[in-house]
Structure 1
């Protein structure tokens, strides 16, 4: 029986390069994923377990990307969850869940969309599990965050930027630095 290393090494997928010997096929994928930072607080325990009012959940997301080298980016999905009730704060969970994204031969606009829409979509279920486990470990019901349409959010953000740039151009205002 072959071990996993042999199976992966001997797949013998069509690795042939282009006719000129160059590797010019577009490739993108997750190389690794990890928890970069996790903060979990239950500031009013054990008193909060006696509180009867329904919790109010505030959920915030932020997506960032940083170039590691020419073919590697770190995509960071930040999630902040605050649960409060009329009696006080129940818990606070802050998570920075990251993925190392490899990209080669991808046009810049498609690479940007992959980093800010597709990569977060792939990372989200894993970040969701970390949040669920953290809230359960705090002594509360696991928080199951609803799925998020990262592609739709990305398209909305790009449209908003385009509208802002068009409005600024119509008013004779130059675009912000770095967006020219």
Structure 2
């Protein structure tokens, strides 16, 4: 389904050693969970409606049984409300997963790689599903802007560090997927 080109990681040592190469393949991708609620049809809102749309993204990654295989999940919640009355127009919840074969990424860099690079590979499919579903649900297609997965990753690391500090636990910058 997709493969990234081999890219060198780090500089080759002066002794002529070969730089380690990153190899990532998308083995499969699929919808894990999907929900679309059309509040406009259910509640019968009348008149001109100006929507206010919010999009929330959460990421998760877990190792699979096979060597170097990981499941990476993008959890997306799109909520559209009327700006004037605050009535819910629609709520879309999508969990989209990809199974990736990742080789050549140092252990210390694997967590950010899985939660930044892998969602970038599946995002075009997530965007298409959201656009098609909102259109098929009776609304103009919601064309998502590009998502900055690096910024989401950094926000999550910051949130975890603050939670550790609030709990009085020592912080060493390590996180779990």
Same fold per superposition (TM over 0.5): yes
Aligned length: 152
2:69 aligned to which of 69, 72, 95: 72
Structure 1 segment 92-107 matched on structure 2, within 5 A: 92-107=91-106
Cross-structure match for 1:56: 52
Distance 1:146 1:104, change over 3 A: same
Distance 2:152 2:104 in 1: 25
Distance 1:66 1:163 in 2: 21
How much does 1:179 deviate?
A: 5.1
Residue pair 2:53, 2:80 contacting (<8 A) in 1 also? yes
RMSD between aligned residues: 3.0
Distance 2:159 2:32 in 1: 29
SS of the residue 1:93 aligns to: strand
SS of the residue 2:112 aligns to: helix
Residue pair 2:161, 2:171 contacting (<8 A) in 1 also? no
TM-score of the aligned structures, taking structure 1 as reference length: 0.72
Distance 1:58 1:109, change over 3 A: same
SS of the residue 1:52 aligns to: coil
Cross-structure match for 2:150: 151
Distance 1:54 1:175, change over 3 A: same
Distance 1:156 1:173 in 2: 19
2:38 aligned to which of 38, 42, 67: 42
Per-residue Cα deviation, 1:87-129 (whole angstroms, up to 9, x for no partner): 6211111000110011234211222222010011111111011
Distance 1:163 1:42, change over 3 A: closer
Cross-structure match for 1:174: 170
2:27 aligned to which of 28, 31, 34: 31
Which has the higher Rg, Structure 1 or Structure 2?
1
Distance 1:179 1:26, change over 3 A: closer
Cross-structure match for 2:9: none
Give the ranges of 4+ consecutive aligned residues of structure 1 lying more than 6 Å apart after TM superposition: none
Per-residue Cα deviation, 1:18-58 (whole angstroms, up to 9, x for no partner): xxxxxx8542221111111110111330624x431311111
Distance 1:154 1:54 in 2: 32
